Amino acid sequence: MIDDDRLIGEALRRFFSMHEVTVVTAPQSVVARVQAGERYDAILCDFLMPGMTGIELHRVLQAACPEQAERMIFMTAITEDAALARLPNPRLEKPLDVEALRAVLAKYER
């Protein structure tokens, strides 16, 4: 879970307490973790963050570890974005509908 608002990440961690949820506020830390060999079933990612957007993170992961880029799920309050619309990854609108999130995450379970 990547969101520059730690409270959102912590709320989702508590809601999905039956799963292992890693919460980070900086997309760059996910890049470092993936490059170090960590793998995630799903990467729930805020679209707009300072320092690196979700699209930029997707590009970096696509080059470094394409299977992790495929596991990204974007969260956004922006309803129209051409770059995001071109990606095949799921997109959830903020505020998040927890049932919609559950449905999307179910597709990523191993």
58-68 tens-digit pLDDT: 999 999 999 99
What pLDDT is stored for residue 85 in this prediction?
87
**If you compute the radius of gyration of the chain from its CA atoms, what whole number of angstroms results?**
13
| Domain 6-106 top-level CATH class | alpha beta
Under the banding of pLDDT at 50, 70 and 90, the label for residue 73 is: very high
What pLDDT is stored for residue 67 in this prediction?
97
45: phi then psi, degrees, rounded to nearest 5? -135, 130
User: Taking CA 24 as the corner, what is the angle to CA 19 and CA 30, rounded to the nearest 5 degrees?
Assistant: 95
Under the banding of pLDDT at 50, 70 and 90, the label for residue 39 is: very high
